[in-house]
A and B are shown apart, each in its own frame.
Chain A
C-alpha cells in the first residue's frame, strides 16, 4: 500500500494506551481502505464480493483475504482491505457491482479501528455499551452498530482475540480517553 502522509488520529494517545496492562490491551489499528457497498437485498443473497460471500445475516461480519466484510444493513456492507489503496478498491467494487445495481463509495477517512483484547476487555467495554458481549451472545463473527460511551461505533467480535471497534476518526480521541478511563482500575498501583 502506498505510503500515506497522514497522522493517525490516535497518535497522541498511543503512548498512554501502551501503558495499559495485559488484561486490557488497546491497540490502534493502522489505516485501511474502507468502502461502503450497497447492493439491492434481492441481489445480495449468495453474492461473492472479492471472493467472499456477502454476510446477509444481520449483525455479522466475515473475514476476507485481506480485510473484513461487515453487515451494516439489509442492503449495505462495509468492506475493508489492507492490500489495496482506497480509490482502486472503490473502482474494483464499482465495476463488479454495477451489473447487479449496486454502488461502492470510498469511506476510508470516515472510521479508524481499535483492537481491544485481554481478560478484562469485555468488562471495559461493558461500562459504556448495552450489548451483551458474553461469548455465548456475541461470538466471533458477530458485529453490532451501537454506542460506546457517547460515540457511535461498529463493534466486531474477534472471538479469542477480543474485539475490534470502528469509530469515526473525529471521535477516536474521545473514545481513547474514555477507554483509558474505563481501563484505569486494572492498572496496578505504583
Chain B
C-alpha cells in the first residue's frame, strides 16, 4: 500500500486519507456578481490533468486536517505535500 506523508503526522497508509479534488480553486471575490454559467464553472469545472496535479487531501482517519499534494495522475506517485497556506509549488 502506498504511504502518504501527512504534513503533521508523517507517512501513513493511503486508506487513512480522503481525496478532496483540485487544489487552488479560489472562491469568487463577489459570488453574487457571477452569472449562472460562471458559478457552474466555479462549482463543477475542474482540470483533468495528465501528469502532475495539485490536489487537496484530508487525513481523515488521523489528524483530520486538510493539506495539499502534488500527485502524478499517471503513476499515482505523490511528488510532494504541503500545507494549505503554502503557495502552489512550481512544477515543470
Contacts and interface: CB of A to CB of B under 8 A. Distances in A.
Interface of A: 58-59, 72-74, 130, 144-147, 152
Interface residues of B, number: 13
B55 interface: no
19 contacts: A58-B8, A58-B10, A58-B63, A72-B63, A73-B63, A73-B64, A74-B63, A130-B1, A144-B62, A145-B61, A145-B62, A145-B63, A145-B64, A146-B12, A146-B16, A147-B15, A147-B16, A147-B61, A152-B61
Interface of B: 1, 8-10, 12-13, 15-16, 61-65
A72 B63 CA distance: 6
Nearest to A131: B12
B14 to A, nearest CB: 10
A109 B87 CA distance: 40
A145 B61 CA distance: 7
Contact of A74 (B15, B61, B62, B65): B65
Given A73-B64, A73-B65, 12 more contacts: A58-B9, A73-B63, A74-B8, A74-B63, A130-B12, A130-B13, A144-B9, A145-B9, A145-B61, A145-B63, A146-B12, A147-B15
